[in-house]
Every structure is written in C-alpha cells, then in structure tokens.
C-alpha cells in the first residue's frame, strides 16, 4: 500500500493527475502497464507533474533541435488537451535560428527512480509577442526575468561572466530596469506529434509508441524495447 499512498498524495497535490492500477500483492507496488490507455495516463501524469513540481525528475528535460544540438531546459507547462509543452528562452540564443529554419525538435525525459523514459517529437514555434508570452513574462519574478537583461547567450567574454550588468550582480532589478529585457524573452512552444515511452524492468522492459496528426486522437501501439 506504500506505493498507493504516494500516488494518492500526488493526486491531491496535482488534481488533474489520474490514478493508475497497481499490482495488488507486489512488494514494490509498481503500476501495471497492460493497456495502452494506462501508458497514456502515465505519460500525462508525469508531464503534468514535471511542469508543476521542480523536484520531479522530468522537470528539466533535454531539448534537441534540428542542428543536432541539445540543451537542458525547464518545462514550464504541459497542456494535455492541446498536447503542447511550454519552455522559456532568450530570443538571442543560438537555438532560435535552427528552430525557425526547421521547427522539428525532440524532447527527452527520464525518471531514474521509476525507470521510465519518455522521448517526444514535435514542432516548435517561437512566440515573441503572443498573449501566452506576455502572461509568462508577467508571472515571472524580477530575479527570474533578470536573466534576459545581460549579454545574449553565447556572447564571448575574456573572463568568467554571468553576462549581467555589474550593477545587477546579486541584486533584484526594478520593473523599470526590466522593461528593455522583455524584447529578449520568448515562449518556446512545442506541439507534440510522437511519443515513445519505455519502462525498464528486470522482468522485461515494456515499450509503447503514440502518434497524432492534426486534430486526430492519439494512436498507440506496443513495440519491442
């Protein structure tokens, strides 16, 4: 029952998380993944928690762009209905040009404790002036928004540097000081088209894939790990 108590606690913290069935007598109370619907529920639950809980192992996935470059980013939101992931980025970052030239991206999540990997593919778009971007900017703290005040990512320096103006090192900028930084902030929204889910188990790994085109429903299938 230990595993069930943990899951129920998470349901209370994240009301949009759904319950999964558990092996009744298994000592580790691991969830059953006998149906594709159970896997879809697991994916949804993990991505919901990943965006809302900074302690989630999937809170900081790796995002891979078409130029075969990867970086760790903070997942800010997962919209299960729209099947989108939301990240924040600097408009001057090197990843912006490849995304705008070829919007195909991959996103890799891994939960070591649960032994579950989620690989997702989708189409990315840079939202500079959208309502979602304004909302995200307004929601951030001044300390968080300070990151967009300094030199752009990748700017050369002769010494270790945060890129911030000297007067802002270790201090919180005012709303007035932050006004020019808004132009450097954007939302990176990824619309998911494919998901590959892998569960590692000593009794035998389990793997499932899902794809979705346009407004169609997710189509799932079991595949060999």
Whichever domain contains 68, its CATH number is 2.30.110.10
Maximal C-alpha separation, the chain? 61
Query: pLDDT truncated to tens, each residue of the chain (225 aa)?
Result: 333 333 455 555 656 666 655 433 334 445 678 899 999 999 999 999 999 999 999 999 999 999 999 999 999 999 999 999 999 999 999 999 999 999 999 999 999 999 999 999 999 999 999 999 999 999 999 999 999 998 999 999 999 999 998 888 889 999 999 999 999 999 999 999 999 999 999 888 999 999 987 777 899 999 999
Helix (H, G, I), strand (E, B) or coil at 93: coil
Into how many domains does the chain fold?
1
Cβ atoms of 102 and 150 closer than 8 Å: no
DSSP state of 26: -
Question: 96: buried, middle or exposed (CB in 10 Å: 19+, 13-18, 0-12)?
Answer: buried
Cα(103)–Cα(212) distance, rounded to whole angstroms?
A: 17
DSSP state of 139: H
Q: 49 lies in a domain?
A: no
Q: Which domain holds residue 148?
A: 56-153+168-223
Q: 14 lies in a domain?
A: no
Cα(103)–Cα(133) distance, rounded to whole angstroms?
A: 18
Q: 174 lies in a domain?
A: yes
Closest CA relative to residue 151, chosen from 69, 93, 73: 93
Q: 89 lies in a domain?
A: yes
């Amino acid at each position: 029952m230990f595993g069930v108590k943990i899951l129920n606690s998470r349901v209370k913290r994240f009301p949009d998380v759904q319950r999964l069935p558990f092996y009744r007598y298994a000592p580790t109370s691991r969830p059953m993944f006998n149906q594709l619907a159970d896997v879809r529920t697991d994916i949804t639950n993990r991505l919901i928690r990943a965006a809302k809980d900074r302690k989630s192992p999937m809170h900081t996935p790796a995002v891979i762009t078409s130029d075969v470059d990867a970086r760790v980013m903070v997942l800010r939101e997962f919209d299960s209905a729209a099947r989108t992931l939301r990240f924040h980025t600097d408009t001057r970052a090197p990843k912006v040009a490849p995304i705008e030239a070829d919007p195909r991206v991959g996103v890799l999540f891994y939960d070591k404790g649960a032994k579950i990997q989620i690989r997702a593919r989708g189409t990315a778009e840079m939202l500079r002036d959208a309502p979602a971007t304004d909302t995200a900017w307004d929601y951030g703290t001044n300390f968080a928004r300070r990151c967009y005040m300094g030199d752009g990512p990748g700017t050369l320096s002769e010494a270790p540097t945060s890129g911030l103006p000297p007067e802002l090192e270790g201090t919180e900028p005012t709303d007035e000081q932050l006004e020019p930084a808004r132009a450097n902030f954007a939302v990176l929204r990824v619309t998911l088209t494919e998901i590959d889910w892998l569960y590692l188990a000593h009794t035998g790994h389990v793997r499932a894939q899902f794809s979705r085109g346009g407004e169609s429903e997710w189509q799932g299938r079991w595949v060999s790990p």
